[in-house]
Structure 1
Amino acid sequence: MAGVALKTFAARRLVHLSRFARPSLVPCLKLHTSASPLRMGASVEQFEEAKSKLSTLKNDPGNEAKLKIYALFKQSTVGCCSTARPGMLDFINRAKWDAWNALGDISQEDARQQYCDLIGSLVAAEGGSATSVGAQPAGSSSSQYETLLVTTENNITTIKLNRPTKKNAITTEMYNEIIAALEQASSDSSVITVITGAGDFYCSGNDLTNFTKIPEGGLEQMAKQGGELLRQYIKTYIDFPKPLVAVVNGPAVGVSVTVLALFDLVYATERATFHTPFSQLGQSAEGCSSYTFPKMMGHAKACEMLLFNKKLTAVQACDLGLVTEVFPDSSFQKEVWTRLKAYAQLPPNSLSLSKQLIRSTERELLHRVNDAEVERLTERWLSDECFNAVMNFFQGRAKL
Structure 2
Amino acid sequence: MTTATMQVSQKDFEKAQEQLKLLKKDPGNETKLKLYALFKQATEGPCNSPKPGMLDFVKKAKWDAWNSLGNLSQDNARQKYTELVSSLISAESAGQTKDASPEESRHGGYETIIVTTKNNITKIMFNRPERKNAINHQMYREIIKALHEAGKDDSTIAVITGNGEYYTSGNDLNNFANVKPNEMEKMAKDGAVLLKEFVSSFIDFPKPLIAVVNGPAIGISVTLLGLCDIVYASDRVSTLQS
**Aligning the two structures, in what range does the TM-score lie when normalised by the shorter sequence?**
0.5 to 0.7
Distance 1:139 1:187 in 2: 17
Question: Which residue matches 1:214?
Answer: 179
- Give yes or no for the alignment of 1:235 onto 2:200: yes
Structure 2 counterpart SS, 1:262: coil
1:179 counterpart residue number:
144
Matched, 1:271 2:223: no
Query: Which residue in 1 is equivalent to 2:83?
Result: none
Q: Which residue of 2 aligns with 1:26?
A: none
SS of 1:189's partner is coil
**Structure 1 residues 180-208: Cα deviation after superposition (integer angstroms, max 9, x where no partner):** 00000000000000000000100000001
2:108 maps to 143
Partner secondary structure for residue 168 of structure 2: coil
Note if 1:248 corresponds to 2:213. Answer: yes
Is 1:203 the counterpart of 2:178 in the alignment?
A: no
Rounded Cα–Cα distance in structure 1 between residues aligned with 2:125 and 2:104: 13
Aligned equivalents of 1:229 and 1:170: distance in 2?
12
Q: Please give the alpha-carbon distance, in whole angstroms, between the structure 2 residues aligned to 1:137 and 1:150.
A: 16
Percent identity of equivalent pairs: 54
Cα distance change, pair 213–184 in 1 and its aligned pair in 2 (3 A) = farther
Query: In structure 1, the residue corresponding to 2:206 is in which secondary structure?
Result: coil
Cα distance in 2 for partners of 1:213, 1:184 equals 33
Which of 155, 167, 171 is 2:120 aligned to?
155
Structure 2 vs 1, CA of residues 218 and 245 (structure 1 numbering), >3 Å: closer, same or farther? same
**TM-score, structure 1 normalization:** 0.35
Write out per-residue CA displacement over residues 9-59 of structure 1, whole angstroms, 9 at most, x where no aligned residue.
xxxxxxxxxxxxxxxxxxxxxxxxxxxxxxxxxxxxxxxxxxxxxxxxx9x
Q: Is the 8 A contact 1:201 1:249 kept in 2?
A: yes
SS at match of 1:224: helix
Instruction: Label 1:214 to 1:154 Cα distance change in 2 as closer, same or farther (>3 A).
Output: same
Q: Shift of the alpha carbon at 1:179? A: 0.1
CA apart distance, 1:137: 3.9
For normalisation by structure 2, the TM-score amounts to: 0.57
- Could you give the per-residue CA deviations for residues 255-290 of structure 1, whole angstroms, max 9, x where no partner exists? 00001001000000011011012xxxxxxxxxxxxx
- CA drift of 1:216 comes to 9.1
Task: Give, as a single letter, the amino acid of the residue that structure 1 aligns with 2:152.
Answer: S
Please state whether the residue corresponding to 2:226 is helix, strand or coil: helix
SS in 2 for 1:202: coil
Amino acid at match of 1:146: E
Structure 2 CA distance for aligned equivalents of residues 240 and 217 of structure 1? 36
CA offset at residue 140 of structure 1? 2.0
Partner of 1:258: 223
Q: Where do residues 206-355 of structure 1 align in structure 2 (5 Å cutoff)?
A: 206-214=171-179, 218-277=183-242
Q: Deviations over 1:69-88 (max 9, x none)?
A: xxxxxxxxxxxxxxxxxxxx
CA–CA distance in structure 2, aligned partners of residues 175 and 201 of structure 1:
17
What number of residue pairs does the alignment pair up?
143
Given that residues 203 and 252 in structure 1 are in contact (C-alpha distance below 8 angstroms), is that contact kept between their aligned partners in structure 2? yes
Question: Structure 1, residues 362-390: CA drift from partner, whole Å, max 9, x if none?
Answer: xxxxxxxxxxxxxxxxxxxxxxxxxxxxx
Report the aligned-residue RMSD.
Answer: 1.7
Structure number having the greater helix percentage: 1
The equivalent residue for 1:377 is none
Distance 1:154 1:204 in 2: 29
**Cα separation, partners in 2 of 1:275 and 1:193, compared to 1, 3 Å:** same
Moved over 4 A (4+): none
Q: Deviations over 1:212-244 (max 9, x none)?
A: 142796100010011110010001111110000
The answer for the alignment partner of 2:75 in structure 1 is: none
The whole-number CA distance in structure 1 between the counterparts of 2:195 and 2:204 is 14
Q: Which segments of 5 or more consecutive residues in structure 2 lack a partner in the other structure?
A: 1-97
Q: How much has 1:138 moved relative to structure 2?
A: 2.0
The structure with the largest alpha-carbon Rg is 1
Q: Is the 8 A contact 1:203 1:256 kept in 2?
A: yes
Q: Which runs of 5+ in 1 are unaligned?
A: 1-57, 59-135, 278-400
Shift of 1:143: 1.7
How far apart are the structure 2 equivalents of 1:213 and 1:172? 14
